[in-house]
């Protein structure tokens, strides 16, 4: 497969991770803060529309980034490396890069939403199933045992497959499977169960 192919893969992954974490994650964290405010003030009916709006915004950012990586191909990566072999490899994998950007944007968006409610166990379980149960074996098979048919393309296929499964499952969970009225009821019940000594004096909260 060659070192240039591996270097290209890790250069692309590093850039994608930094870009998504710097843009999508703050958006999802801000959304989770507003969701908690809605639940505390007794407006769970506003939560669903807010989550949809945040999801569409993150999808817009992810789509624009993916389009830039696909259209720019070698030229985008020139900002991060001047090795012609790595630039050529990056250009060849442009479709997979664009798809992985969208998938990763959805995953990080869901991470911020779920972490704001302490529901990180659902995120970890879905990502573990997609990446380690499906993606890792598929990547080993396509990238190692199927050589020289796939080579680096095999790793990209496995990466996009696992990322797509994680993204779709997490987005489905956040948009359709969370009951905001139930979360509001749990928050009210938890507040009522707090000891009087911790709720009466704000300095002790």
Q: Model confidence over 134-177: pLDDT tens digits? A: 999 998 888 788 776 776 788 889 989 999 999 999 999 999 99
51 within 8 A of 172, measured Cβ to Cβ: no
Question: Of 109 and 191, which is predicted with more confidence?
Answer: 109
CA angle 28, 33, 35 (to 5 degrees): 90
Buried b (16+ CB within 10 A) or exposed e, 191-200: eeeeeeeeee
Report the pLDDT value the prediction gives residue 202, as an integer from 0 to 100.
44
- Inter-CA distances, 119 with 56, 170, 198, Å: 21, 12, 24
Other beta carbons less than 10 A from residue 105's beta carbon: 29
Q: Over pLDDT 90: what percentage of the chain?
A: 46
Q: For residues 29-52, give the mean pLDDT.
A: 92
83 within 8 A of 4, measured Cβ to Cβ: yes
Residue among 94, 93, 105, 91 nearest 16 (CA): 105
When the pLDDT of each residue in the chain is averaged and rounded to a whole number, the result is: 84
Burial zone of 109 (CB within 10 Å; 0-12 exposed, 13-18 middle, 19+ buried): buried
Other beta carbons less than 10 A from residue 182's beta carbon: 10
Q: For residues 38-63, give the mean pLDDT.
A: 94
Q: What single string gives the DSSP state of each residue in 61-122?
A: HHHHHHHHHHHHTHHHHTTT---HHHHHHHHHTHHHHHHHHHHHHHHHHHHHHHHHTT-HHH
pLDDT confidence bin for 123, thresholds 50/70/90: very high
What's the whole-model pTM score?
0.84
pLDDT confidence bin for 88, thresholds 50/70/90: confident
Report the pLDDT value the prediction gives residue 2, as an integer from 0 to 100.
52
How far is residue 34's CA from residue 36's CA, in Å, rounded to a whole number?
Answer: 5
Residues 60-69 pLDDT 10s: 999 999 998 8
């Amino acid at each position: 497969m060659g070192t240039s192919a591996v270097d290209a893969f890790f250069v692309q992954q590093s850039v994608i991770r930094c870009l998504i974490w710097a843009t999508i994650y703050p958006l999802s964290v801000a959304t989770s803060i507003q969701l908690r405010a809605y639940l505390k003030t007794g407006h769970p009916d506003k939560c669903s529309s807010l989550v949809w709006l945040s999801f569409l915004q993150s999808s817009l950012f992810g789509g624009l980034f993916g389009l830039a990586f696909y259209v720019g191909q070698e030229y985008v990566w020139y900002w991060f490396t001047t090795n012609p072999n790595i630039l050529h490899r990056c250009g060849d994998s442009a479709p997979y890069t664009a798809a992985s950007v969208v998938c990763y944007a959805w995953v990080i968006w869901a991470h911020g939403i779920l972490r704001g409610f302490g529901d990180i166990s659902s995120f970890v379980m879905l990502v573990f199933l997609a990446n380690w149960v499906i993606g890792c074996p598929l990547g080993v098979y396509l990238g190692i045992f199927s050589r020289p048919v796939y080579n680096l393309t095999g790793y990209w296929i496995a990466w996009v497959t696992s990322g797509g499964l994680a993204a779709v499952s997490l987005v489905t969970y956040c948009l359709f499977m969370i009951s905001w009225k139930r979360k509001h009821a749990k928050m009210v019940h938890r507040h009522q169960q707090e000891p009087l000594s911790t709720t009466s004096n704000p300095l002790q909260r």
